[in-house]
Amino acid sequence: MPAILLATLNARYFHSALGLRYLLANMGELQADTAIREFIINQRPLDIAESLLAEQPRMIGFGVYLWNVAETTQVVALLKQVRPDLIIVLGGPEVSHEWEQQPIVALADYLITGPADWAFASLCRQVLAGQPLAEKIIAAESPPLDQVTLPYRFYTDEDIAHRLIYVEASRGCPFRCEFCLSALDQTAWPFPLEPFLAELWTLHNRGVRHFKFVDRTFNLNSKACARILDFFLERLDERLFLHFELIPDHLPEALKTRIVRFPPGALQFEIGVQTFNPAVQALISRRQNNLKTEENLRWLRQNTQAHLHTDLIAGLPGEDAASFAAGFNRLIALDPHEIQVGILKRLRGAPIARHSADFDCRYNPQPPYNLLCSALLDFMTMRRLERFARFWDLIGNSGRFRHTRALLLGDDPFGRFMAFSDWLFAATGQTHQFALERLFDLLYRGLIEALGVAEAAARGALTQDYQASGAKSGPAFLQRDRSASDPGQARKAISLARQTRYRRSGD
């Protein structure tokens, strides 16, 4: 049984922990006595603790993140209650800053802040040799990337078959956007390109076709970016899928000539616009050429097959609801495939905290530390924006409502979708667990009641979208439409309605 376990709780099973694989790759002579154990956050902490203790490890290193800190705290508390002698080491962005009052840190034996690629192995050597460190907090320095052992061989065949495969060509970020922890980086550091391409070649030969690059600024170095795109262009097949995060206002010709060569379904670009307000951008130290951003997004949409996932943040200091609405409408006009509306979070250590007093920003004290209210956005407005974000993801980003979307948005996309969002929450009292047929019915009602769309137009658009969805039964508005011209269908619709009412009464 391994003496050292590397563990984390992923948000979902198909995620994989790249950080743990870096630690394992750099364990040196301890590698053979080290193993990775991944769980998911909806597993019971008691079951996770049992699984870990069954292997009788001497040390466990936990990767702690925003999404798993609450559950990981419970697991660590259980482990320490059963085996107080078990050495618990923490690392990860959630515990690398403002750790002094965190309950999980109080429970643990050691905390490594910063990149732990080498620091974890060094600590394990000392502890297992009977020479534990006196200091609980270890501030790790960034190792030279040309000396870090790459982790990709530690993706198992099971990982390749069932999990996302994360890779990175660089670390860090040269920008200073204050909502992001990368604002603390001094610059971006590339991994040596040839060894990295060799690792991609090996993964590709093992059957990997979905590569998710975690680089914050993939297109920062145009030459390296072009080489990586060339690597995949030489290996195109119908299963290839690549995800990159792009700087929105930097798209040189060398990249354009390559991007246009990828077929539909092969490229997804995550493009952080965040805000179009120049005053807000200056306030949060974000450098962004808005006109160039628009030009690049328009070019990508019109000339390539890339799927464009764009991001906006609601609640940034200095941005009120009208400014956010204008930014949303401006982005809608560029027609990206997705607009991810995020609520501002005060991540531990992020410089955005310096604006809290000036703008009276008040954040949720529990993860995900989302903005609750500010001087410019009261609590009720923030709650409405959160529901807007959820419903937009459910409807606007789903790709299911291509014909209906034009009726929803009209000439004021934000205003109209906010009106629909308010109506939908008032009608249902919920933001999750909408069955597809019910969602179509709610859209039918909402278009008519909240947005004043003619019944025939609403029915026509939704019918086209429902038929394209491939669903087999049928929402109620379609049943009513059929029953109007067919008495037999009318009897079936009445019977279906009675069955539905009976089932609900028994819940």
* Average of per-residue pLDDT across 79-106: 97
For 174, list phi and psi in degrees, rounded to 5: -85, -5
Tell me if 4-142 shares its fold with 164-357: no
CATH number of this structure's domain 4-142: 3.40.50.280
- The residues with which 110 forms a beta bridge, in sequence order, are 89
In one-letter notation, the amino acid at residue 466 is: Y
Residue with tokens 């246009």: 260
CA angle, residues 194, 198, 204, in degrees to nearest 5: 140
pLDDT in tens, 307-339: 999 999 999 999 999 999 999 999 999 999 999
If you search the block for the tokens 């410019």, which residue do you land on? 376
What integer best gives the mean pLDDT of the chain? 94
Tokens 């093992």: give the residue.
Answer: 206
> How many whole angstroms separate alpha carbon 78 and alpha carbon 72?
10
Confidence of residue 473 (pLDDT cuts 50, 70, 90): confident
* pLDDT > 70? residue 495: no
Give percent above pLDDT 90 in the chain: 91
Tokens of 142: 């960034």
Instruction: Note whether 251 and 219 are within 8 A (CB).
Output: yes
Domains of the chain, by residue range, sit at: 4-142, 164-357, 403-507
| pLDDT band of 481, cuts 50, 70, 90 | low
Distance CA 335, CA 363 (A): 32
Phi first, then psi, for residue 90 (nearest 5°) are: -110, 150
Within 13 Å, how many C-alpha atoms sit on residue 308's CB side? 26
Phi, psi (degrees; rounded to nearest 5) at 206:
-80, -5
Phi, psi of 36 (to 5 degrees): -95, 135
CATH number listed for the domain at residues 164-357: 3.80.30.20
Q: Which one, of 363, 6, 268, 281, lies nearest residue 151 by Cα?
A: 6
The residue among 59, 73, 132, 128 whose CA lies nearest residue 106 is 73
pTM of the model: 0.92
Give the residue-averaged pLDDT of 116-126: 98
**Residues sharing a CB contact under 8 Å with residue 493, sequence separation 6 or more, in sequence order:** 476, 479, 480, 482, 483
Per-residue pLDDT averaged across 237-265, rounded? 96
Burial environment of residue 457 by CB neighbours within 10 A (0 to 12, 13 to 18, 19 or more): middle
Instruction: At 420, list the tokens.
Output: 């629909």
Closest to 340 (Cα-Cα) out of 328, 348, 350, 322: 328
Cα within 13 Å of Cα(410), Cβ side: 13
Segment 153-191, tens digit of pLDDT: 999 999 999 999 999 999 999 999 999 999 998 789 999
